[in-house]
Amino acid sequence: MTFFDYDRAPFPIREDIAPAYRAYWERLARPGAWWTGAERVAIAQESRNALTCRLCAARKKALSPMTVTGRHDCGEGLPETAVDAAHRVVTDQARITRQYVEDNVAAGLGKAAYVELVGIVVAVFSIDEFHRALGLDLERLPDPEPGEISRYRPAILAENMGFVPTVPVDGAVGAEADLWTGERSANVIRALSLVPDALREYKGIFSVQYLPLGDTRSLGVVEGRAINRMQIELIAGRVSAVNECFY
């Protein structure tokens, strides 16, 4: 695919950002654990469609989203449950409940497929918001690549947080040893660990937009950042509050 040329931006952009974004787009196009390459790209497109979806706008205004019915403004290639989940993660994430996740399971959207979907939506939305904030055009989504899904699940899982199984804090061993180090991990990192590759993909974006995992305990100046950790957290906290961040 043709990547966005950050060298043509009207202001300097840190050198590590473009390679991280390009690596993500390349990975997005390939089959994942539970979605094909075509489906993964379709999920990415739905993260964009959600912002102009009339059904989502009506639900956002309603006391309960379940009181508003209709069809999403969406593309093709995904089941309705997947479209609805992708749109809700973007437009109404604070009202996603355990019952909603379980109802999706009953309707055919398994928890592992849901986690991979969430990982795609979060990563694409993060890159897109970076572009929107700086007044840059959005990247063109990649052409999907053929191949089979892996259906991989970690050997060690627990159901002691959130609405989906996760790798426990002391379970990042074997094939999952690279997910985090030691017997400590933030819940926001564990949240995608049911699909390890979804977490790996997210970490690539997380490390350049926020901090590499190894630097998250540093309270001072982080190498390569123009502001210190306390200033980073002040901005992150304010943005989270404005976005009604569930976490």
Extents of the domains making up the chain: 15-216, 219-247
Element (H, E) at 21: helix 17-28
Contact in structure between 179 and 167 (CB atoms under 8 Å): yes
DSSP per-residue letters across 58-92: HHHHSSSGGG--------SSS-HHHHHHHHHHHH-
Instruction: Please name which of 13, 22, 18 lies closest in space to residue 226, comparing C-alpha atoms.
Output: 13
Q: Which residue has the tokens 């403004």?
A: 73
Per-residue pLDDT tens, the chain, 247 aa: give them: 678 888 888 888 999 999 999 999 999 999 999 999 999 999 999 999 999 999 999 999 999 998 999 999 999 999 999 999 999 999 999 899 999 999 999 999 999 999 999 999 999 999 999 999 999 999 999 999 999 999 999 999 999 988 999 999 999 999 999 999 877 788 888 999 999 999 999 999 999 998 887 776 777 777 788 888 888 889 988 988 887 776 6
Tokens representing residue 48 in the block? 């964009």
pTM of the model: 0.94
Where on the phi/psi map is residue 113: left (φ > 0), alpha (ψ -120 to 50), or beta?
alpha
